[in-house]
Amino acid sequence: MWNYFEDVRERIRKNLISVIQENGYPWEEYEVTTEDGYINTMLRIPYSNKNKSNNNERRPPVILCHGMDCCSAVFLNESRLAYFLADQGYDVWLPNNRGTTFSSHVSLDPTKDKEKYWNFSWHEIGFYDIPAFVDFVIKHTGFQKIYYIGHSQGTTAYAVFASERPEYNEKIALSCLLGTAIATDSQIYSYGLLFFLYIFVPFLQFIDRFIFRIHQIPFSALLRTTSTYTGASTLGWYINMLVIFFAAGNANFDQAAKFDLMKFSQTTPNTSSIRQAYHYVQVMRRGRFTKYDYGPEKNLKKYGSIEPPEYNLSKVTSPVALFYGKNDMYNDYRRDKLDEKFANVVYIHVADDEYFNHIDFLIAKDSVSLLYNDMVEIMRKYKAV
């Protein structure tokens, strides 16, 4: 795909780095290689520009994991969560998952080896990418326990990570899960995009199987380019925001009032494997948080059963804090019962805004008062060591 031409990848990378530099924060860049050969870029903000005199101080590390079709820029552009945490005295790490424009492979080329390179869902992100990020941060900081914050697919991947690699629970001081996308079909008939995906993704799967292979989520590059060139005008901004709200929940223009669409669309949407979308729809259709369904024959070979097994969330024993929006289409805080499924939910927070939706976790102008202050308060109760 054209987004993987080197000039485009480098342009997106430079844009992200410039965002950090423009805000006056120090940054570092690392490459993290997973067990199965993906090379993922991770950025770091080691300290805040507000307390440079103490830049040799040992700070507790926190990993911020982005959602599907995003990259680490979502924590830097509008939400500014990375800067907020750095200002609060944290060592902030910003990984980019496999499949983003910040990812490559030790031997596979994303354009020449499409079948193999894009053969993953969010299961592999949780099983391979997150453990590699966690181990890397622990090795470079000397801390034995670190914080994890994930949004959307970042919460899904964490549920895979902590249930499928339960030994890693000992390495997490606290996970803060924002806008959980785990094991619920409670709202798929209520909102536009989920219903659209519920109907449209099987159609894509038919094309994928019988006409031509689809490897990446379609239209991401087109949406990014369109938003960049149309979002400058008031009408263009409004129309683009309606599209975003279609993918996030009912419109919340109040919280999006200061949203800089032009800056956001320089890096988002990013790129993801189509299997990530397929996997979500499988979960929605079953109403259960299961592994990827390859079909009865392949399931039998891979799992020993014709049906994909369900993830055992009771194995997530590390402390978990859940953060919800009342207007979030991807979960229903009154019905998902994650506090019963995870073994150790220590805190539940519902943003005090009736219209707070899935994208508001990234763009809301009142994030500090609605979310971040409470997040840091609970983090300080579960100290990284």
User: CA dist 372 to 14, 115, 211, 376, Å?
Assistant: 28, 41, 47, 6
Query: Exactly one of 72, 152, 265, 318 is catalytic; which is it?
Result: 152
Give the max Cα distance, the chain. Answer: 61
151 a catalytic residue: no
Within a 10 A sphere around the Cβ of 313, how many other Cβ atoms?
Answer: 19
Distance, in Å, from the CA atom of 278 to the CA atom of 198, rounded to the nearest integer, reads: 10
314 a catalytic residue: no
Distance, in Å, from the CA atom of 360 to the CA atom of 220, rounded to the nearest integer, reads: 20
Contact call for residues 66 and 154 (beta carbons, < 8 A) = yes
Distance, in Å, from the CA atom of 269 to the CA atom of 203, rounded to the nearest integer, reads: 22
Q: How many CA atoms lie within 13 A of 71 on its CB side?
A: 28
The residues, ordered by sequence, that sit 6+ positions from 204 with a Cβ below 8 Å of its Cβ are 214, 218, 274, 277, 278
Distance, in Å, from the CA atom of 138 to the CA atom of 134, rounded to the nearest integer, reads: 6
Contact call for residues 367 and 156 (beta carbons, < 8 A) = no
Query: Exactly one of 66, 105, 151, 358 is catalytic; which is it?
Result: 358
Residues catalogued as catalytic? 152, 358
